Chains A and B, each alone.
Chain A
Amino acid sequence: MTGSTLDSAKTVLNHHHDAEVVAAHGAEHQDFRLLGIIVFLVAEGMIFLGLFMAYLTFRSVATEWPPAGTPRLELLLPGINTAILVSSSFVIHKADTAIKKNDVKGLRLWFGITAAMGAVFLAGQLYEYFHLEFGLTTNLFASTFYVLTGFHGLHVLFGLVLMLGVLWRSLKPDHYNSKSHFGVEAAEIYWHFVDIVWVILFLMLYIL
């Protein structure tokens, strides 16, 4: 692996043979990863926006929506699910506050709770899938319903993986502290994103 500046301390060492330079080097460059995540989320947002626009176009062009014979969607379970997901955004923020005070235990607690809430959301969604009276290919509405919620569900799942990753790393002593906790912030931003997408999705599919 040929190295370059930002890669890792080890490769930089090879170029400079000088530990002091390396230390200074690290200090010279800020950490841009968080900005990178935010920019990347713009792209993620555009996938969803594209799919939303497709849904709205299908809907506006159709003579009847949902097409005749589509069973009505239950509102209770998805409503509870929505409440859980939205409140989890506040819970995960408490983790951020905790780690800013160097409270790793608090971080673990709040991340654990958020992850559990996410898992409940997913379980609820699966339960709903199994009890719906239409399948993926029943009609255009059914297909868009499953693909949109499923695609969002995958994102929730990925958020869970991120949180478990952070929990795992937080076991290492001083991996996260008040100064350095990129993983925590990245997971939090991502989770907020997933949350916002869900709110739009919920309004569009269930309410509109």
Chain B
Amino acid sequence: MNDREPLTFLMTQAAEYQEQANLVARGSEPDKNDWRKYFGFSTDHKVIGIQYLVTTFIFYLMGGVLATLVRTELATPASDFVSREVYNSLFTVHATVMIFLWIVPAGTGGFGNYLIPLMIGARDMAFPRLNAIAFWIIPPAGILLMSSFFVGAPGSGWTSYPPLSLMNGKAGELIWILSVLLLGTSSILAAVNFIVTIFKMRIPGMGLNQMPLFCWAMLATSFLALVATPVLAGAMILLSFDLIVGTNFFNPTGGGDPIVYQHMFWFYSHPAVYIMILPVFGMISEIVSVHSRKPIFGYKAIAYSSVAICGLGLIVWAHHMFTSGTPPWLRMFFMITSMIIAVPTGIKVFSWLATIWGGKLRLESPLLFAMGFISLFVIGGISGVMVASVPWDIHVHDTYFIVAHLHYVLFGGSVFGLYAAFYHWFPKMTGRMLNETWGKIHFALSYVGFNLAFMPMHKLGIEGMNRRIAEYDPKFAALNLLCTIGAYLLAVSTLPFLVNVCWSWVYGEKASDNPWRGLTLEWMTTSPPPVENFDADPVLATGPYDYGMGSRATEVNVAFSDASDPVLSAGPSSTLRAKPDPAVAASPSDRVGESHNR
């Protein structure tokens, strides 16, 4: 720690200030973290958050095994490892698991549940029991999906377009529909909970513009999930009628229209990509600022661009359908909106870069993964704008270029961001630090493996290699082998992380309340926080990102002990506490170096 002495001095000011203001609120002792509670129907948002994270990570591993099998088949041009039907099932279930059972629930249900109440100073979510129900839908739905391999797994891709999906095995397709419906329900219930919690349960004194950016991101995400997921459910209902009773909603031979399915599907699934990335945007905003010891650049720009993405994200869906006979005027509309959405996305990227710029970087695993996220996400964003342009998309649609794009945004983006979040909040969740050396090894292996596996796919796609097909032209063999090697490296890269988590959870170095000297409220209580999170309502003595701002004068009017302050001494449940805290009310004039978002 010695080599960081001067910057420790700079950065502790704001953090210490916030901590002292919250001495009363801080839980009296860390939770004992009895492992048994993770296996029951708990209504504690922290337990549920960890349940989500562990469950979804297990599904991530399963999805990873499927991906490894897919890449093994693709190591050579011939279809020699598994049959073509099995190959179809492998990539279908792989994508479904990764999207619906890993990234969506891990980002929203996992980190959202754990962090949102802590960040806004609440004791729990608005509807704890609903929260638990939303979680407990997930394991059965996931097991159901995986068990489809016993009856002939679904093989029509994660998009499940009819009429193809009506022609493959019925049982597998039905299982797919059912698990997607269950997972969608869970996601809607969680969204209701987040919206009410964020709007209604913030501590007095925390306006929307004083919320940590992760809260903004979760608000936008939840709104998208709330509005878009039901339309997917509608599509699933119609599709299952076609499948079971032989109606012809989507079957052209019976007068139906498969394009309507595509519209309904993408009305959900484009916003779904933002459901997968927005929470991660929020996490990155937290991590980048804390580990660069600088105020976030452009708080409002980042916050409101989440809202802009949320609105625009609902009107770009047909960019997935440029080659589906969409009329030119409609293609033009969706091309323009899709390109516009790159603007709020770019705003965020520039804000993160400006935050890092000139900061006192703590180049440890959380920041490494966060910077990995930014670099890879930018590549995915650029290929996104490329495919948003109709002429280019007509050329590369349904090729490996799309596979490259989606993995740069979903793996390089969402997954790297989730890893950054794991490293950042693990000390809070478990009271233990992760091992830094293994973290760096994990990062290096992932970063190299990822680029090896997915960078060549851009070229493969441009040269015409189709996605979702087990065989390919031998001229693509060399690059595909490279991709497969990268995929294996990526598979191996998970091991250091797994070992690190398991080992550190039990034996890791004990973490203090606030190992990163953060300012957001989750750091103002014990690690792990007690069941009730705080002993009294926390107060905001600084904004969430006021790192290294001015010198904190000691005359600031903050009550340090309950004895000196009637409101605090009245205890956590006193009605007095409903009033804005004096520490907050007193703030503006006492402050040297004003924060952007107070």
Stretch binding the partner chain, chosen from B67-75, B119-127, B367-375:
B119-127
- Scoring B residues 37 to 52 as 1 if CB is less than 8 Å from chain A, else 0, what string do you get? 1001111110100000
The verdict on A151 contacting chain B, using a C-beta distance below 8 Å, is yes
Q: Complex Cα distance A137/B249, Å?
A: 10
A54 contacts B129, CB within 8 Å? no
Question: Inside 8 A of A61's CB, which chain B residues have their CB?
Answer: 257
Q: Complex Cα distance A3/B127, Å?
A: 12
Q: Complex Cα distance A136/B235, Å?
A: 17
Check A43/B257 contact, CB under 8 A, given A4-B128, A7-B129: no
Sort chain B's interface into a size bin: 35 or more
The verdict on A27 contacting chain B, using a C-beta distance below 8 Å, is yes
Stretch binding the partner chain, chosen from A45-53, A77-85, A115-123, A168-176:
A45-53
Stretch binding the partner chain, chosen from B279-287, B479-487, B569-577, B586-594:
B569-577
Nearest to B185 among chain A residues (CB) is A43
Question: Inside 8 A of B577's CB, which chain A residues have their CB?
Answer: 28
Pick the residue among A6, A32, A40 that contacts B123 (CB under 8 A).
Answer: A6
Number of A-B contacts (CB under 8 A): 151
- Scoring A residues 56 to 94 as 1 if CB is less than 8 Å from chain B, else 0, what string do you get? 011001100001000000000000000000000000000
B248 contacts A143, CB within 8 Å? yes
Question: Inside 8 A of B531's CB, which chain A residues have their CB?
Answer: 2-4, 15
Shortest Cβ gap from A66 to chain B (Å): 11
A36 contacts B257, CB within 8 Å? no
8 A Cβ contacts from A1-33 to B: 1-7, 11, 15, 21, 24-25, 27-28, 30, 32-33
Q: Complex Cα distance A76/B33, Å?
A: 65
Pick the residue among A4, A11, A39, A54 that contacts B192 (CB under 8 A).
Answer: A39
Interface size on A, residues (CB 8 A): 46
A36 contacts B231, CB within 8 Å? no
B248 contacts A54, CB within 8 Å? no
Select the residue from A4, A21, A35 with max chain B CB neighbours within 10 A. A4
Nearest to B127 among chain A residues (CB) is A36
A24 contacts B43, CB within 8 Å? no
Main SS of the interface on chain B? helix
Check A1/B43 contact, CB under 8 A, given A36-B126, A36-B192, A143-B247: yes
Shortest Cβ gap from A21 to chain B (Å): 5
Q: Complex Cα distance A67/B191, Å?
A: 40
The verdict on B229 contacting chain A, using a C-beta distance below 8 Å, is yes
B241 contacts A43, CB within 8 Å? no
The verdict on B98 contacting chain A, using a C-beta distance below 8 Å, is no
Shortest Cβ gap from B130 to chain A (Å): 8
A5 contacts B124, CB within 8 Å? yes
Q: Complex Cα distance A176/B245, Å?
A: 45
Q: Complex Cα distance A4/B231, Å?
A: 33
A1 contacts B45, CB within 8 Å? no
Check A42/B227 contact, CB under 8 A, given A54-B264, A58-B260, A140-B256: yes
Q: Complex Cα distance A4/B47, Å?
A: 10
The verdict on A139 contacting chain B, using a C-beta distance below 8 Å, is yes
Question: Inside 8 A of A149's CB, which chain B residues have their CB?
Answer: none
Check A25/B230 contact, CB under 8 A, given A4-B531, A15-B532, A137-B246: no
The verdict on B195 contacting chain A, using a C-beta distance below 8 Å, is yes
Question: Inside 8 A of B267's CB, which chain A residues have their CB?
Answer: 50
Nearest to A139 among chain B residues (CB) is B255
Pick the residue among A4, A30, A40, A53 that contacts B43 (CB under 8 A).
Answer: A4
Nearest to B241 among chain A residues (CB) is A147
Shortest Cβ gap from A18 to chain B (Å): 9
Shortest Cβ gap from B577 to chain A (Å): 8
Q: Complex Cα distance A12/B220, Å?
A: 32
A50 contacts B264, CB within 8 Å? yes
Pick the residue among B37, B128, B230 that contacts A47 (CB under 8 A).
Answer: B230
Question: Inside 8 A of A44's CB, which chain B residues have their CB?
Answer: 230
B233 contacts A2, CB within 8 Å? no
Q: Complex Cα distance A151/B189, Å?
A: 20
The verdict on A144 contacting chain B, using a C-beta distance below 8 Å, is yes
The verdict on B462 contacting chain A, using a C-beta distance below 8 Å, is no
A50 contacts B235, CB within 8 Å? yes
- Scoring A residues 136 to 169 as 1 if CB is less than 8 Å from chain B, else 0, what string do you get? 1101100110010001000000000000000000
Shortest Cβ gap from A190 to chain B (Å): 14
Question: Inside 8 A of A6's CB, which chain B residues have their CB?
Answer: 123-128
Nearest to A20 among chain B residues (CB) is B573
Question: Inside 8 A of B125's CB, which chain A residues have their CB?
Answer: 6
Question: Inside 8 A of B256's CB, which chain A residues have their CB?
Answer: 58, 140
8 A Cβ contacts from B259-307 to A: 260, 263-264, 267
The verdict on B460 contacting chain A, using a C-beta distance below 8 Å, is no
**Additional A-B contact list (20), CB under 8 Å, known A50-B235, A50-B264:** A2-B37, A2-B47, A3-B531, A5-B124, A6-B123, A6-B128, A7-B128, A21-B573, A24-B574, A33-B127, A36-B193, A39-B196, A40-B189, A43-B226, A43-B230, A47-B233, A54-B234, A54-B260, A140-B248, A143-B248
Q: Provide 15 A-B residue pairs closer than 8 Å at the C-beta atoms, listed in order of the A residue.
A: A5-B128, A7-B124, A15-B531, A27-B575, A28-B578, A36-B130, A39-B196, A39-B226, A46-B230, A50-B234, A54-B234, A54-B249, A57-B260, A136-B241, A140-B256
Closest 6 CB pairs between A and B?
A50-B231, A50-B234, A24-B573, A5-B123, A46-B230, A47-B230
